[in-house]
Amino acid sequence: MDERPLVVVTGASSGIGAAAARAFSAAGHPLLLLARRAGPMEALGLPDTIVEAVDVTDSAAVAAAIGRAEEAYGPVDLLVNNAGMMSLAPVAEQDPQHIQRMFDLNCVAPMRLAQLVLPAMMARRGGTIMNVGSIAGKALYGDHTVYCGTKYALHVMTEGLRRETAAHGVRVMLVAPGMVDTDLLSNTGAGRVLDGYLDYKKSIGGGLAPEDVAEAMLHAYRLPQHVNLREIVVAATVQDS
């Protein structure tokens, strides 16, 4: 069994989650990777890694996956709540299912996953939860009303969770990236909104690479347990908003 503790990454089939999986694996951690598509997670080819194709809004499926991983690698020491969805549109034009799914995935799932690992972390006075928010949880952008709403909610819940668990020695961290070059735009249909986003993204050279965010995550996690880097806002230097 690997001496380093188990790291769980949600949304590890692409973008920031896949980069985080590679970074924590390179640092020697066994992994549990969760997303709906197993293929891209298996294609990462990482050692000591359990891949489970689950929808993270299905808490029972996630709990079962965590149970299997803990049997193999011991207790979860880091949960990276990264899986997320962005669908940009004025609310009047937005797909109602996207509104529901963004809240379920970006807000409810991270809290439900935290509930699955927190009791054991608090009991042993260790462990870290890292929630991936966004600069869209700090400022309101055009056509981002619901997405920003989910990230604002996630930010305040992350801070609440941190306060609740601080005295138990558990670290709760917020990672709030600026623009990152990933597949996140896949739920925003062609047209004015997408064009505007892509224009700005191009103007700042495409934004960060997912690996840049993963490196910041690894840095925060590697600090000693008594040091909590509570909030990381990480964006391309040339991003001015």
| 183 in contact with ligand NDP (CB under 6 A) | yes
Question: How buried is residue 231: exposed, middle or buried, by Cβ count under 10 Å (0-12/13-18/19+)?
Answer: middle
> Does residue 36 belong to the site contacting ligand NDP (CB under 6 A)?
yes
User: Applying CB under 6 A, which of residues 6, 179, 217, 218 lies at the interface with ligand NDP?
Assistant: 179
User: Whole-angstrom Cα distance, residue 116 to residue 34?
Assistant: 14
Q: Is 8 in the site for ligand NDP (CB under 6 A)?
A: no
Q: Per CB under 6 A, does 202 bind ligand NDP?
A: no
> In 3-state terms, what secondary structure has residue 188?
coil
Run of H or E residues at 198: helix 192-203
Q: Is 213 helix (H, G, I), strand (E, B) or coil?
A: helix
Place of tokens 């937005």: 94
Candidate ranges 51-59, 122-130, 159-167, 223-231; the one touching ligand NDP (CB under 6 A): 51-59
Catalytic residue among 73, 147, 197, 221: 147
- Least CB distance to ligand NDP at residue 56 (A): 4
Least Cβ distance, residue 215 to ligand NDP (angstroms)? 14
The answer to whether residue 221 is catalytic is: no
Strand partners, 79: 8, 129
Element (H, E) at 24: helix 15-26
Among 132, 153, 214, 232, binds ligand NDP (CB under 6 A): 132
Complex with ligand NDP: residue 121 or 176, whichever CB lies closer: 176
42 in contact with ligand NDP (CB under 6 A): no
Helices 109-124 and 59-73 cross at an angle (nearest 10°) of 30
157 binds ligand NDP (CB under 6 A): no
Question: Which residue intervals of 57-143 are DSSP H helices?
Answer: 59-73, 96-103, 109-124
Q: Are 155 and 132 spatial neighbours (Cβ–Cβ below 8 Å)?
A: no
Q: Please, which residue, 67 or 123, has the CB nearer to ligand NDP?
A: 67
- Rg (the chain; Cα; Å): 17
134 contacts ligand NDP (rule: CB under 6 A): yes
- Cα gap 153→240, rounded to integer Å: 23
Please report whether residue 177 would count as binding ligand NDP according to CB under 6 A. yes
Query: What x/- string results for residues 216 through 235 when contact with ligand NDP is judged by CB under 6 A?
Result: --------------------
What's the min distance (Å) between Cβ of 51 and ligand NDP?
A: 11
Give the nearest distance from C-beta 55 to ligand NDP in angstroms: 4
**Residues annotated catalytic, as ranges:** 147
